[in-house]
Amino acid sequence: MGSGPPISALRLGRCARLAVCASVLAAPTALAQIDTEAAHPEPRAVLALSAHHRDDGRELASDFVERFLAMPLEHLGLDLHCRSYPAGEPADLDPDQWRGALVLVDAGATPPDWLAGWLARQARRVHVVLLGDLTSLRVADPASVDDLLRTAGLEWRDGFTDDPFRIEVGFGDPGRTCFEAPPVRLRSHQGPALVDPRLDAWVSTRDRRRPDDVRHPVVTGRFGGLALDPWLLDPGDADGGARWHVDPFRFFAAAFRLDGLPVPDPCVRHGRRRFFFRVDGDGFESLSTVEHGQLAAEVMRDHVVDGLRVPVTLGVNVASLAETIDPSEPTRAMRVARELFARSQVEAASNGVLRTLDWRAGTVAGERPRGDVWRASLGGYHHDPRAEVRESIRFVDRFLAPPDRPCRLVLWSGLANPDAATLAEVDRLGAIALNGGDSRCDAADPTLTAVPPHARRIGGDALQVFAAGPSEAYFAGFYDDLPGAFAHVDQTLRRTGAPRILKPVDVHARFESAERPARLRALVTLLETWALTEETCVGRASDWVRAVRGSLLDCTVARVPDGFLLRGFDACTTARIEGPTPPIDWARSTGIAGARRLGDALYVDVCGDPARLVFDRVDRPAPHLEQANCPCTEIVRSPTGVAWTSSAVEGFERRAVLAGFAPGAALSVRIGPVTRTAAAGADGRCVVACSGGGDLAIGVEVAR
């Protein structure tokens, strides 16, 4: 299949790499001109109104929209903007800017007097989704609610019955309405009935004593959607137990009319699920029982960083390395940190100056008892949240990181709850940040209601990017009687990757994993599985942060007569289309490096701005990059082949799969300065594999 022997990589400059691309590929096909300025982006913004939202990011546990709805809406490519009722009546939504409105009305609560009228007006402008309790909204303003229902194709019916012996429930497609737990004990009979037969009724209830009395509490249609209590989900209690009844992905996709629309997906790169590995600074200076007399950081260096040759982001806490913010001589821990950051596979990150536990309250680790050695202060340093960011980055850059690879990533510590001002300080310094929002979905609580979104807005504009997986601290026994408990994170990684890829593979460890043998074995096994065995694209934590920010802030999708125009897919390079799709017209598509179907979705690899994605009625295969296990840049596709620059660390075997060649076609494969011949397989694919660190120019084309 053309893999050949490993070839040592040469570090080529940009000009040399582009020269290789030009020599390997023929000129791309000329394309018809398109008025890109006239292409109007599909609106992605959704305004969510509820009683409990707080713009400052506090009390998320009581915010129903942020806690439960944000993740599925974000997965569908929607940009959620939350607003609380006390903030007052919003302006009418511009359909060119807003995809729709989502309104949550709590059962028994008194909604604001403007809400029903505002909602009725929006139903004539944008898609409207109403959740919760419609009865209380109608009591407050029956005329406006009846107007809203008429617009939607529904009609209000009086009367309420919750007698389970009288009420017959129809779930339609159980796959849509019994997603995580069937609402078998629920027999509530209230709400509107269908008038327009074109509406899609997900749940219906019928009173056996009055057979003609049929209600439809879960409905989607051109207007949007309706999902009344208690059919959407069981919210559980303070100890958990929340479960989706309705499939939120299918419900919101139908309500906001998203079928067939490409959406940015930061979880996938080059046709594979993203992988990144990062280590927070906890336990850096602790003595390890794995190797007598060694620091945990030294064991992590020898057994993981050097032993596995996987890219890793390492965060350090200044107070665990030095006695002062301006040391005159490097400590042992500082020297170890320098050694680690000097390695090409290591990305330097800050984990703060002190061990801040609560970024809102200013609480640092030394103010709370714990068995570990904590630092409440540091010589020459005055603590505040912005100084934690500023001074920790300065310390790493001045004393630890190589000059050509400075620290530009902050890993939030403790509760990982920065306010808008602290996030603004990160932006001011030209850095990015990660942590918070740890997700867990395993046998202990097998539900997607515990999986948060990729990011949240704080203070209106500031964006906090979340971790994608839990650290060892989330697993009971890790610190005492079950030191290998972190191995159970494998369940979360698998459940958030199938049948939908909801999260990348984020192996989120601490230096404490190198303190004891069982902890270290669990970590090594996870890395060997997910970075070296499973089909993932191995990158760095900073790649994930930039991809999330790009997906929310930069990416736009516009319809054009023959397909879609994709803009801003620079950091987030993947567009996902759910469900069946026609074949891609490779001849007329531009800026598209490749595509791969995973599960029920097509993942399109974008390499141009703007990129033009065109479909065809007939499948006409053409060479394209189907998948790769490490980052690829400067991708050029032509009718006869593909060229790209591959980036990997020394010792990591890079692999790429190309598809779309004629079966058995003779191929010319160029890897750096070496050219050899190969042949496409019977399925039209070619596998390119090689080793060597740094950037490597690669090209494959049909032999002349």
User: Binning pLDDT at 50, 70 and 90, where does residue 25 land?
Assistant: very low
Residue 46: pLDDT band with limits 50, 70, 90: very high
Specify whether 226 is located in the same domain as 198.
yes
Is 6 among the domain residues?
no
pLDDT classification of 510: cutoffs 50, 70, 90: very high
The pair of three-digit structure tokens given for residue 380, joined into one six-digit string: 């020459």
Q: Give 563's DSSP letter.
A: E
Longest dimension (CA), the chain: 86
Looking at residue 35, its pLDDT comes to 59
Among 260, 282, 315, which residue terminates a domain?
A: 260
| Joined tokens for residue 648 | 């990997």
CATH of the domain at 58: 3.40.50
Same domain assignment for residues 575 and 532: no
Of residues 53 and 476, the one with the higher pLDDT is: 476
Q: What local confidence, expressed as pLDDT, does residue 4 receive?
A: 32
Is the residue at 268 inside a domain? no
Domain-terminating residue out of 546, 580, 611:
546
Pairing of strands 45-50, 79-84: parallel
Span 111-128, pLDDT tens digits: 999 999 999 999 999 999
Question: Domain span at residue 159?
Answer: 45-260
Strands 167-170 and 272-280: unpaired
* Among candidate residues 514, 546, 578, the one where a domain is terminated: 546
List the structure tokens of 569. 């897919």
pLDDT score for 377:
81
> Is the pTM value of this prediction over 0.85?
yes
Closest CA to 290 of 528, 470, 523: 523
Question: Tell me, what's the pLDDT at 165?
Answer: 81
- Express each pLDDT in 441-477 by its tens digit: 999 889 999 999 999 999 878 999 999 999 998 899 9
The better pLDDT of the pair 409, 168 is held by 409
* pLDDT at residue 63 greater than cutoff 90: no
Q: Are residues 339 and 470 in the same domain?
A: yes
- Mean pLDDT for 145-153 is 95
Model pLDDT, residue 80: 94
Residue 370 banded pLDDT, cuts 50, 70, 90: very low
Check whether 372 has a pLDDT greater than 70.
no
Cis peptide before 610 (omega within 30 of 0): yes
CA dihedral 429, 430, 435, 439 (to 10 degrees): 150
Beta carbons of 637 and 674 less than 8 angstroms apart: no
Instruction: With beta carbons less than 8 A apart as the criterion, state whether 387 and 381 touch.
Output: yes
In terms of domains, do 593 and 446 share one? no
Q: What's the pLDDT at 24?
A: 38
| Mean per-residue pLDDT of the chain | 90
Within a domain: residue 412? Answer: yes
pLDDT in tens, 572-596: 999 999 999 999 999 999 999 999 9
Mean per-residue pLDDT, 50-54: 84
**Ranked by mean pLDDT, which of 55-69, 368-382, 509-523 comes out on top?**
509-523
CA torsion, ordered 177, 179, 181, 185, to nearest 10 deg: 0
Instruction: Specify the number of domains making up the chain.
Output: 3
User: Region 350-374: what's the mean pLDDT?
Assistant: 69
Verify that 495 and 379 share a domain, yes or no.
yes
pLDDT of residue 56: 67
Amino acid at position 418, single letter: P
**Residues 6 or more apart whose Cβ sits within 8 Å of residue 674:** 7
pLDDT of residue 15: 35
Assess whether 470 and 333 both reside in one domain.
yes
Q: What angle do CA 144, 147, 153 make, to 5 degrees?
A: 145
* Predicted pLDDT at 77: 97
For residue 369, pLDDT beyond 50: no
Indicate if 321 and 430 belong to the same structural domain. Answer: yes
Q: DSSP code of 512? A: G
One-letter amino acid of 276: F
- Are residue 68 and residue 27 in the same domain, yes or no? no
Q: What's the sign of the alpha-carbon dihedral 411, 363, 281, 380?
A: positive
Task: Name which residue leads in pLDDT, 98 or 209.
Answer: 98
Q: What average pLDDT does the segment 616-630 reach? A: 96
Gyration radius from the chain CA atoms: 27
Element (H, E) at 701: strand 694-702
Query: Do 36 and 610 contact (CB within 8 A), yes or no?
Result: yes
The conformational region for residue 293 under phi > 0 = left, psi -120 to 50 = alpha, else beta, is: left
Whether 439 and 565 map to the same domain: the answer is: no
Q: Which residue has the higher pLDDT, 331 or 2?
A: 331
Shortest CA distance to 192 belongs to which of 148, 244, 143?
148
- Domain co-membership, 620 together with 586: yes
Specify whether 199 is located in the same domain as 217: yes
- Amino acid identity of residue 593, one-letter, is A
With cut-offs at 50, 70 and 90, classify the pLDDT of residue 37. Answer: low
Out of 188-197, 324-333, 405-414, 570-579, least confident range: 188-197
CA distance 576 to 163: 44
Does residue 392 lie in a domain region?
yes
H or E segment to which residue 577 belongs = strand 574-578
Lowest mean pLDDT, pick from 221-235, 353-367, 453-467, 608-622: 353-367
Q: Which of 164, 63, 160 is nearest to 108 (CA)?
A: 160
| pLDDT (0 to 100) of residue 562 | 87
Q: Which tokens belong to 433?
A: 């940040």
Residue 218 lies in a domain: yes
Residues 6+ apart with CB under 8 A from 87: none
E strands along 368-495, which residues?
Answer: 409-411, 432-434, 455-458, 462-465
Q: Give the domain CATH number at 286.
A: 3.20.20.370
572 found inside a domain: yes
27 and 90 together in one domain = no
Q: Answer yes or no: is 112 within a domain.
A: yes
Q: Does residue 511 belong to any structural domain of this protein?
A: yes
d(CA 376, CA 365): 6
